[in-house]
Structure 1
Amino acid sequence: MLSKIHKGDYVFIQFGHNDEKSRVTLHTESGSTFDDNLRRFVNGTCAKGGNPVLFNSIVRRNFPPPKGVTEIKGSYEKEGPVLVDTHGKYLESPRRVAGEMNVSFIDLNKLIHDLVTGMGVENSRKLFMWIPSGQYEFCPEGKIDNTHLNIYMVDV
């Protein structure tokens, strides 16, 4: 990536969804190795004359069900009314590193959180990879993915 940066380029840096996973090859610790990786990207960008901009992770569309409702295939039979954070301390690392390194930070988590909650439980599905069964040949059984955005989000 560094070889592609030219003086004056803006480089948007956003990690976190995979860093918080327990798999050793992906996992980093907020306040430690995660922050170090962000610093490494900021330093590399600055060394090439680029302008780093740090973002925190977007929200996962996580509306846990009311008590007594069971999870089905990565989603819920019935979702609850409250969007619940899944990133915890990983949201603060980009803000902290941006502050200490005097680079720009955008709270993308808050922006998308406000959008998702404003749209509500049902309508916010339009932003994410909710694919009804039978809609696409590549995914005949459909898919419910509350992490990855779809093309609709480009227009929002």
Structure 2
Amino acid sequence: MTTDRSRTAPAALGLPTGRFEGRVAFQQLVRDALTTAASEGWREIVLCDDDFHDWPLGERVVADALNDWAGSGRRFTIIATQYDEIVRRHARFVQWRRTWDHIITCRRCPSADRSDLPSVLWSPGWLMHRIDPDRCVGVSGTEPDRRVLMRETLTEWIQNRSSPGFPATTLGL
């Protein structure tokens, strides 16, 4: 008998499940999820959004959580249509990305329509999905079916609908 590892992943302790609404609630969920990832030792995190404009990635608490989380055997994937907003708004995240380049995969989907690319924070045990990014309305939870379906969607974007993007350093003369 085979089992799907994502179905047996430990639930994210203390993270809420259910509907959320509003930018403040969304941003707090991101902060709490990354802090939980560090404390529980999540092995993988995938972030996906059009441009990460309203994510709290530049905040010190987020950078500290990512530093606490990062380490050997960890994988971090980020998917966006473009990275201009991250560079412009999230300097701490850009620095963290440079430091931990060896565990980070950045994918770019420049031809994706803003409404096609999901706005998601995914892990093997919990996910947060903004169904309506403009109003910051979405759901979070540990439901295996939802996590597996979202992972399949993200894998499709990573493997077939994107290319490498957001290099850690830019070489020039």
TM over 0.5: no
| TM-score, normalisation: structure 1 | 0.34
Q: With CA pairs under 8 Å and 6+ residues apart, which has the higher RCO, 1 or 2?
A: 2
- TM-score norm. by structure 2 comes to 0.32
